[in-house]
Chain A
Amino acid sequence: MVRSGDLNRYWIRSTDAMPSDVVIETGELTKTYGPVRAVAGLNLSVGAAQVFGFLGPNGAGKTTTIRLLLALQRPSSGSSRVFGLDSMSDSLEIHRRVGYLPGDLALYPRLTGAQHIEWFAGARGGANRADVGALVERFGVVTDRPVRDLSSGNRQKIGLVLAFMHRPELLILDEPTSGLDPLLQYEFERLARETVAEGRTVFLSSHDLDEVQRLADRVAIIKSGSLVATDTVDGLRRAAPRRVEVVLPGPAARTGFDSLVGVKVVACHDHRLALEVSGPIAPVLRAVADQDPVDVVIRHADLDELFLDFYRGPSTP
């Protein structure tokens, strides 16, 4: 895992070994649009049979990376391989084995869901009718009305069917639950888990950090086109500072905490004190005990806190 800047204390760390079957691998992948570097020397490795969460805010380079993997765009430099095949020269074989849901899904307004499914299945050389039917039923897809008459959520359901219907080895999904209601989001998560249980791989980019936290086996965080962290969600949380929240009987004071190694006072007002602890916890507990606390909560940061903390940090070079 790689991380630079002041937040290195919890981002630079080598953790779990990569799974042996690498499905996606990029090497110094770069894409520029004039002076703008959308993807900047990205080195990414995604193992098989897992849900891999690809995180980053708008403009971080997630969608461009996905388009480079699928040869929808040409890299300025570097390489990307899917199933060990070159994204550009072997794109046809890759496309056969991948299901793709774009982030800004656009369908043909005058065609119905059924016509889309039929046409895409034909272009793929056919799809199992039972599989398609099961997906349509599972997501309650409206198949008999023109897409222009459907809500964005109903269009997204068609997109999910198009991505999953041929049982691809790898699913590349850009914001897959965008526009779906909570019940369908849950159904999508079940489907993703079932897919991984069958040995297939799900690569998803998402803004929904709760969803990624629930679903992803590993995550990568991209900032300004560069990979800045990749690990399991638990690994990231373990590596991050713990949050210690203390309620005191009297007015809270920083005294005694500022001098502790690896401790940062992030809030101190009224009777409440919040600490970020990246060093040993025992001295902190002793200092807290000296204050005769009313309540103490110690927890690892959630993914959204890590994400926000990370993005508020300094830019990577």
Chain B
Amino acid sequence: MALYTLVIVALYPAFKHTTSLDKLATDNPAVAALLGVVGSLTSPGGWLNANIYEYFLPLVLLLSTVGYGAAALAGHDEDGTLGLVVSLPVRRATVVGEKALAMGIQAMAIAVAVAVCVELGRFFDVTAGVGHVLTVTLATVLLGLDYGLVALAVGAATGRRSTAIGAASALAAASYLVSSLAPVVAWIRPARFLSLFYWAVGNDQIANGVSLADYAVLLGVGIIALGVGALAFERLDLH
């Protein structure tokens, strides 16, 4: 992911004056929506948004967090390891909390690597503000954690890794579609508020910054998913 980010920022000088590319996006809102472009594609912010934050970084983070969230409880129970862990003098809520913490550390490691590489972009004329880069990166981590915690909660409720992956992935895919199509499909537009992508990266946060409302929604969903997961895990029959 870090290498990909470096390549993207290093390629920016070759595209920053490509007005035809910019025109393609501005003249074709549907194409812009499909490419995840918000604003100008050849501006530093638009370039990062389209190539990293709108799609690729969330995808990588989702692969990490949803995979981990589904494996953390349901997967380990299917493997048979969780029963032995829960037979230790440890509260189930503690197990859930530690799993969520590990998920967060894993996601942060990816995000920090990306943020550092994006900041290295200043040597390639990618002059997005440091503050915005960091806050959007953090918002993307929260986005990934939200769906990871949904996977964890579904796994805690069902004990099935495949169900957890399926449910969280379907929600994330629907959320992405709503956020990316909202600018060009009128009847979807009101639903953008239901999309976590909108609150993390879908509202041109790389240019405008992440608002407190964005953080509140992303944090609130994560806290609710974590709470539901902890409650569900208390009732899960383990192997």
Please report A residues at the B interface, Cβ cutoff 8 Å.
67, 70, 72-74, 92-93, 95-96, 98, 100, 102, 104-108, 120, 123-125, 162
**Residues of B contacting A104 with CB < 8 Å?**
80, 239
Partner of B238, one of A72, A93, A105, A124: A72
A100 touching B80 by the CB < 8 A rule?
A: no
Name the residue on B nearest A93 (C-beta): B89
Chain A CB within 8 A of B220 CB: no
A117 to chain B, nearest CB (A): 13
Task: Verify A73–B237 contact, CB threshold 8 A.
Answer: yes
Q: Which residues of A contact B83 (CB under 8 A)?
A: 67, 72, 102
Does chain A have a CB within 8 A of B88? yes
Task: Tell whether, in the assembled complex, residue B87 and residue A100 are in contact, meaning their CB atoms are under 8 Å apart.
Answer: yes
Q: Are B81 and A108 in contact (CB under 8 A)?
A: yes
Instruction: Check B212 for interface membership: any CB of A closer than 8 A.
Output: no
Min CB distance B235 to A, Å, is 6
Given A102-B80, A105-B84, A106-B79, check contact A74 B237 (CB 8 Å): yes
CB of B17 closer than 8 Å to a CB of A: no
Can you report 10 A-B residue pairs in the complex whose CB atoms are below 8 A from each other?
A: A72-B83, A72-B87, A72-B239, A92-B90, A95-B90, A96-B89, A102-B83, A104-B80, A107-B84, A124-B88
Residues of B within 8 Å of A95, CB to CB, are 87-90
Chain A residue contacts of B235, Cβ below 8 A? 74
Is A70 touching B81 in the complex (CB atoms < 8 A)? no
Bound together, the chains give a CA A162 to CA B90 distance in angstroms of 15
- 0 or 1 for each of B69-87: is its CB under 8 Å from A? (1 = yes): 0000000000111011111
Residues of chain A with a CB closer than 8 A to B80's CB: 102, 104-106
Partner of B81, one of A74, A96, A107: A107
Shortest A158–chain B CB gap in Å is 11
Interface string of B124-162 (1 = CB under 8 A from A): 000000000000000000000000000000000000000
A98 with B90: CB separation less than 8 A: no
Number of A-B contacts (CB under 8 A): 51
Residues of A near B87 (CB, < 8 A) are 70, 72, 95, 98, 100, 102
Quick check: is B189 within 8 A (CB to CB) of the other chain? no
User: What would 7 more interface pairs be, CB under 8 Å, given A73-B238, A95-B90?
Assistant: A67-B237, A72-B86, A95-B88, A98-B87, A104-B239, A123-B85, A125-B89
The 10 A-B pairs with the shortest beta carbon distances in the complex, nearest first, are A106-B80, A73-B237, A96-B89, A95-B89, A72-B238, A100-B87, A123-B88, A106-B81, A72-B83, A92-B89
Contact B238 A92 (CB under 8 A): no
Chain B residues 31 to 80 lying within 8 A of chain A, measured CB to CB, are 79-80
Return B19 CB to nearest CB of chain A, in Å.
52
- Please name the residue on chain B nearest to A106 by beta carbon: B80
Check B23 for interface membership: any CB of A closer than 8 A: no
| A123: B residues at CB distance < 8 A | 85, 88-90
In the complex, the answer to whether A106 meets B237 with C-beta atoms within 8 Å is no
Residues of B close to A105: CB separation below 8 A: 80, 84
Q: Which residue of A lies closest to B86 (CB)?
A: A72
A106 and B86 CA atoms in complex are apart in Å by 13
Q: How far is the CB of B24 from chain A (nearest CB, A)?
A: 48
Query: How far is A102 from B82 in the complex, measured between Cα atoms in Å?
Result: 11
CB distance from B88 to the nearest CB of A (A): 5
Decide: B90 and A106 in contact? CB cutoff 8 A.
no
Contacts of A93 in B (CB 8 A): 89
**CB-CB nearest in chain A for B91:** A92
Residue of A whose beta carbon sits closest to that of B79: A106
Cα distance A100–B85 in the bound complex, in angstroms: 10
Q: How many Å from the CB of A125 to the closest CB on chain B?
A: 8
Q: How far is the CA of A245 from the CA of B24 in the complex (A)?
A: 98
Determine the distance from Cα of A272 to Cα of B127 in the docked complex, in whole angstroms: 100
Are the CB atoms of B89 and A124 closer together than 8 Å? yes
Alpha-carbon gap, A102 to B80, bound state (A): 9
Task: Please pick, from A72, A107, A125, the residue contacting B237 in the complex, using a CB distance under 8 A.
Answer: A72
Q: Are A120 and B88 in contact (CB under 8 A)?
A: yes
A165 CA / B24 CA spacing, docked (Å): 68
- Give B209 Cβ to nearest chain A Cβ, in Å: 42
Known: A92-B91, A123-B90. A102 touches B84 (CB 8 A): yes
> Smallest CB-CB separation from A95: which chain B residue?
B89
Q: In the complex, what distance in Å separates the CA atom of A102 from the CA atom of B87?
A: 10
Contacting residues, chain A, for B86 (C-beta < 8 A): 72
